[in-house]
Amino acid sequence: MKQFSYRHTKEAELMDSVEAASKNASSMSEDELFSFAEFNAEDVERTGYSNYSYWRSTFQAFLKNKGAVALLVLLGLLLLFTFIQPYLPGQYDPNMIVNDANGMQYRNVPPGDMFLLGTNSIGQDLWARIWAGTRTSLFIGLSVAVAEALIGITVGVIWGYVRKADFILTEVYNIIDNIPNTIILILISYILKPGVKTLIFAMCLTGWIQMARFIRNQILIIRDRDYNVASRCLGTPTWRIMMKNLLPYLVSVIMLRMALTIPAAIGNEVFITYIGLGLPVDIPSLGNLINEGRALITSPALRYQLVYPTIILSFVTISFYIIGNAFSDAADPKNHV
Amino acid sequence: MPDKNIPEKMLTVEDLEIKFELRGKTLNAIRGISLDLYKGEILAIVGESGSGKSVFTKSFMGLLDQNGKVTAGKVMYYGADDGMPMELTALKREKEWYKIRGHEIAMIMQDPMTSLNPLKTIGVQIMEAVLLHQNLTRAEAKEKTLKYLEDVGISHPERRFYQYPHEFSGGMRQRVVIAIAIACAPQILICDEPTTALDVTIQAQILDLLKALRHKYKLSIILITHDLGVVANIADRVAVMYAGDIVEIGTSEDIFYDPRHPYTWALLSSLPQVGVKGTDLFSIPGTPPNLFSEIKGDAFAPRNSRALKIDFLETPPYFQVSPTHKAKTWLLDPRAPKVEPPPVVEKIRNGGLM
Amino acid sequence: MEREVLLEVKDLEVTFGERKKKFQAVKKVNFKIYKGETFGLVGESGSGKTTIGRAIMRIVPSAGGEILYKGDKINGTISPVLDQKVIKEIQMIFQDPQASLNERAKVDYIISEGLLNIEKGIREADRKARVEQALLDVGLLPEFSSRFPHEFSGGQRQRIGIARALIMNPEFIIADEPISALDVSIRAQVLNLLSDMQKKRQITYLFIAHDLSVMRFITDRIAVIHKGRIVEMAETEELITHAIHPYTRALLSAIPMPDPRHEREKKLLVYEPEMHDYSVDTPDWVEMRPDHFVLANQKEVGEWKNG
């Protein structure tokens, strides 16, 4: 039942404006326009939808950081090359001492046609040694990061979540934390046979506790949030709370720490080798390459034996650091704008 | 000589539009609002989350987030010392805003705990405001601070002066925040949900306090809230906001006793105070619209079971109900079918709530 | 006819902290909740109302007293069988829809989390069907089960939380301020849903809130709690129209009504805890009107009886 009246001029005015406003309306008479529209309650429920995806936004935020992306690409290429390099034609074995026609070793040959980056003091090809060394150092770095993460997360989650474990583990932490890392590193390297496994073991031994502490602090923050309380009320067992409620929140912080652990581990390896307790010479690593080159820093002709390994080391370390930080920034929801 | 009967305008907003850049898309937070604030009045802006009420008032103080911009319209302020009108939307640099913030327009917010610096005594925090905005010596400033503490109802001000925020309860902290705001000697006070985080008894006291301070310090107050009960208690005029637009505005009596916009009806109907035990409470289905897309027609139409077809096609203009009261709904168009407001309106008008 | 008591709280005490920093959140609280009713517990922040709810859910340990569910004591250490029973039959709805759902899990998992714990051998097809039914029951669409919580509005998230509780077919639900964090127009939706569920499934509710106007609409009986003690308890209408304890009266006078005339004319009653002198004349739980109990000492009984 419609009750309306209008003056002729107003009707014309309004008809014009209504007509001009939308093309859909042109098919509708004025009566129809002012009649009730259909109301669909179900459709209305769908209006609350937003399609924000955390990981997608993190990815997009990371891509905006052109520097980090560039470094990531370069680092990836470098990594790829360390694997491909031995299969390329004309590569020397890193440990082979190359003799010339007369049986003399090609010692300290500067970079040139025969040896791309020259040779070292006993006649080994530096190019091959550098790539082998990078492989080893990266392997050490990644192994330490992964092992540290696995142990550290396991302990950290229990430490933070299980109230009874908190007391004991805190005491353990306080004791271990007070022992300087370098002493442990040195001791282990001294006691056990020098090798890649020893180094990884020694570095994990000192590194896991920090990761555990960090994870524990994060867990403490989210432990008593309502959604975890709800899970406890529903009878969810502790292991499932850890796997589905806690760990997914920590993925981005874990990845950041791992990204920073890699350069730290490589740096530690260089240090241990520097003080003479590192890898034996037949396992090339950036550490012992730099160590060998260090002695030659005073002679300008031979400096290349130090420079090239250092460049690679610096590049790898800085890249991981920058990429790790860029990822951490991207993973922060506040930056998803 | 200004005519005392014509209320003086403190602030006018003309066709204001504010947009945000969010993840590559544009959010139309404020879609063309015009509003006047008169001297000495308490204007309530009622809306739910997502209506844009906070964004709207932040633009008066240049506090919009980095990714927000005023894209059209302007805000004019008439209360400056020299009597010259200032175009607030034209201010670009932080330095220009320093003259406005605090001294002309002050703001208090919802959570008193995060509004106060936990490391400084409350006395110092209030004194800082006094020293910054009023030309007084330290001794005089302290005197004034104690007076402000008394004004906001804090007993034993000489002792409390030296206490830290954590030594105060929620309601007392909010009083301290109000003291800091009036210590700036502002003309306009913007209160963004000042009592939402407080218990109901404390809320009532804070509202009384604001009313008293309005008279004592000749303030014009803009109160942002989602609580219609608070509005009824304190507001002279009420603006109802929905999806970045003001859909209805009028005096408190207009809005509560003669509401015209379906959204206002829906808000009033869904209050538990008006519900009848045993029957369902009226509820507005769905959620507010997505402001990323252009809104065609009346923004509230999809959730309005009594929407007209034209509501989906064309945005209604304001229809004047009385000199003080207007609403943006096609229902007020003479050609629209007559729709009775829901029974709750009658109930409120006849005082049948208690 | 004797009404069945579903939950009884006897002399409940809850304390936090140790030794010097001991804080008594709940001091000798007593009340009964009958099967099928909605019992309201109203108080301001710090009153202990949330603590009582959590003590019943066994999230928070009790320091004294007993909580009896269907006659069995459920506070303290209990048998695994009783534990399972309680987990299934008593559910909780939380206040903050932003914090009470696991952001990294799909709605599917969130809703059926309890099912996976209680019905360990449940078939995947059954589980999915029950999740879909739960979503429909709360007015959401079944297609939502494959989405994440952040894709939904506050009101929808709160309904997901309710679905999580309802899928367990509980007999008793503790709703801890279920609508305080929601927008005004969404509150009505959730309140309607809760009362619908009660009619359909005969669920008993303990409704905890600070807002008496909401209580008036949804509860059958109300207990008013102040600083860890229940000060007044009666049927809802009786309490609201004939409030006796000054704290209850202060709460009532502070409720803002959407009526400007009423608000301007009203006089605010202020409650001063110092008005009670309980040093010699200790208070008792007194039935001052039929089925209407107040915490008062002898002197106060005399004063207040005459309004």
What was the ipTM of the complex prediction? 0.89
**How close is the nearest chain A Cα to the Cα of C291, in Å?**
34
**pLDDT in the model for residue A22:** 46
Task: Report how far residue C109's alpha carbon sits from residue C117's, in angstroms, rounded to the nearest whole number.
Answer: 12
Q: Among the listed ranges A186-190, B244-248, B321-325, C6-10, which one has the minimum average pLDDT value?
A: A186-190
C245-271 average pLDDT score: 88
Helix (H) or strand (E) holding B221: strand B220-225
Q: Say which residue, A7 or B7, is predicted with more confidence.
A: B7
Nearest CA in chain A to C60: A229
DSSP letter assigned to residue A42: H
Please answer yes or no on whether B200 and C44 come within 8 Å at the CB atom. Answer: yes
Q: Which of C191, C251, C258 sits opposite B229 (nearest CB)?
A: C258
Whether C255 contacts chain B with CB within 8 A: yes
pLDDT at residue B84 tops 80: yes
**pLDDT in the model for residue B227:** 87
Give the mutation candidate from A10, A24, A44 for the B interface (greatest B CB count, under 10 A). Answer: A44
Please answer yes or no on whether B289 and A6 come within 8 Å at the CB atom. Answer: no
Whether B338 contacts chain A with CB within 8 A: yes
C115-174 pLDDT, tens digit per residue, is 999 888 888 899 999 999 999 999 888 989 888 888 888 888 999 999 999 999 999 999
Please answer yes or no on whether C59 and A233 come within 8 Å at the CB atom. Answer: yes
C37-41 average pLDDT score: 94
Neighbouring chains of C at 3+ CB pairs within 8 Å? A, B
Report residue B13: phi and psi, to 5°: -115, 130
Please answer yes or no on whether A25 and B314 come within 8 Å at the CB atom. Answer: yes
A23-56 pLDDT, tens digit per residue, is 444 556 777 777 777 776 666 666 555 666 777 8
Please answer yes or no on whether C45 and B199 come within 8 Å at the CB atom. Answer: yes
**pLDDT in the model for residue C65:** 93
Between strands C204-209 and C38-42, the pairing is parallel
Collect all residues of chain A within an 8 Å Cβ-Cβ radius of residue C118: 235
Whether B50 contacts chain A with CB within 8 A: no
**pLDDT in the model for residue A162:** 86
Q: Among the listed ranges A295-309, B1-15, C17-31, C266-280, which one has the minimum average pLDDT value?
A: B1-15
Mean pLDDT across chain B: 89
DSSP letter assigned to residue A246: I
Dig out the tokens for B149 from the structure: 């503490």
**pLDDT in the model for residue A7:** 35
| Contacts with A, B 296-315, CB within 8 Å | 296, 301-314
Secondary structure class of B82 (helix, strand, coil): coil
Neighbouring chains of A at 3+ CB pairs within 8 Å? B, C
Collect all residues of chain C within an 8 Å Cβ-Cβ radius of residue B226: 183-184
Nearest CA in chain C to B348: C259
Q: Which of B21, B290, B314 sits opposite A22 (nearest CB)?
A: B314
Provide the pLDDT confidence category of residue A224 given band limits of 50, 70 and 90.
Answer: confident
**pLDDT in the model for residue A337:** 60
**pLDDT in the model for residue A8:** 35
Whether C136 contacts chain A with CB within 8 A: no
Please answer yes or no on whether C156 and A226 come within 8 Å at the CB atom. Answer: no
Provide the pLDDT confidence category of residue C280 given band limits of 50, 70 and 90.
Answer: confident
- Percentage, residues of chain A above pLDDT 90: 12
Collect all residues of chain A within an 8 Å Cβ-Cβ radius of residue C114: 234-235
Dig out the tokens for C15 from the structure: 């304390």
Task: Report how far residue C9's alpha carbon sits from residue C27's, in angstroms, rounded to the nearest whole number.
Answer: 12
Collect all residues of chain B within an 8 Å Cβ-Cβ radius of residue A35: 308-309, 337
**How close is the nearest chain A Cα to the Cα of B347, in Å?**
26
Spell out the alpha helix ranges (H) of chain B: 53-58, 94-98, 112-115, 122-133, 138-151, 157-160, 170-183, 200-216, 228-234, 252-257, 262-269, 343-349
Please answer yes or no on whether A24 and B313 come within 8 Å at the CB atom. Answer: yes
**pLDDT in the model for residue A21:** 47
**pLDDT in the model for residue C104:** 85
Q: Which of B205, B283, B354 sits opposite C188 (nearest CB)?
A: B283
Q: Say which residue, B81 or C235, is predicted with more confidence.
A: C235
A264-272 average pLDDT score: 84
Nearest CA in chain C to A249: C104
Total CB pairs under 8 A between chain B and C: 135
Please answer yes or no on whether C259 and B348 come within 8 Å at the CB atom. Answer: yes
Task: Report how far residue B123's alpha carbon sits from residue B163's, in angstroms, rounded to the nearest whole number.
Answer: 7
**pLDDT in the model for residue A58:** 81
A90-117 pLDDT, tens digit per residue, is 777 877 777 777 777 777 777 777 777 7
Whether C249 contacts chain B with CB within 8 A: no
| Contacts with A, C 147-206, CB within 8 Å | 150-153, 155-156, 161, 164, 168
**pLDDT in the model for residue B150:** 92
Q: Is the dihedral of CA C238, C241, C244, C248 positive or negative?
A: positive
Helix (H) or strand (E) holding B77: strand B68-77
Provide the pLDDT confidence category of residue A4 given band limits of 50, 70 and 90.
Answer: very low
Between strands B105-108 and B188-192, the pairing is parallel
Mean pLDDT across chain A: 80
Task: Report how far residue A101's alpha carbon sits from residue A106's, in angstroms, rounded to the nearest whole number.
Answer: 10
Whether C188 contacts chain B with CB within 8 A: yes
Give the mutation candidate from B309, B312, B329, B331 for the A interface (greatest A CB count, under 10 A). Answer: B309
Q: Which of C192, C196, C257 sits opposite B232 (nearest CB)?
A: C257
- Percentage, residues of chain A above pLDDT 70: 86
C169-189 average pLDDT score: 89
Please answer yes or no on whether C256 and B253 come within 8 Å at the CB atom. Answer: no
**pLDDT in the model for residue A2:** 27
**Contact criterion met (CB below 8 Å) for B60 and B30:** no
Beta strands in chain C (DSSP E): 5-16, 23-34, 38-42, 64-69, 72-73, 90-93, 172-176, 204-209, 221-226, 229-235, 284-289, 292-296
Report residue B12: phi and psi, to 5°: -130, 140
**pLDDT in the model for residue A14:** 45
Whether A36 contacts chain B with CB within 8 A: yes
Dig out the tokens for A269 from the structure: 């390896």
The long-range contacts involving B82-87, CB below 8 angstroms and separated by at least 24 positions, are none
B155-192 pLDDT, tens digit per residue, is 899 999 999 998 898 889 999 999 999 999 899 999 99
**pLDDT in the model for residue A45:** 62
**pLDDT in the model for residue B92:** 84
Report residue A206: phi and psi, to 5°: -90, -25
Please answer yes or no on whether C141 and A46 come within 8 Å at the CB atom. Answer: yes
Please answer yes or no on whether C216 and B271 come within 8 Å at the CB atom. Answer: no
Collect all residues of chain B within an 8 Å Cβ-Cβ radius of residue C192: 280-281, 283
> For the whole model, what pTM was predicted?
0.82
Please answer yes or no on whether C151 and A52 come within 8 Å at the CB atom. Answer: yes
Whether C273 contacts chain B with CB within 8 A: no
- Find residue C41's DSSP bridge partners: C208, C223
A277-323 pLDDT, tens digit per residue, is 778 877 888 888 888 888 787 888 777 888 888 888 899 889 988 99
Please, what is the Cα angle at C260 between B41 and B281, to 5 degrees?
125
Please answer yes or no on whether A35 and B337 come within 8 Å at the CB atom. Answer: yes
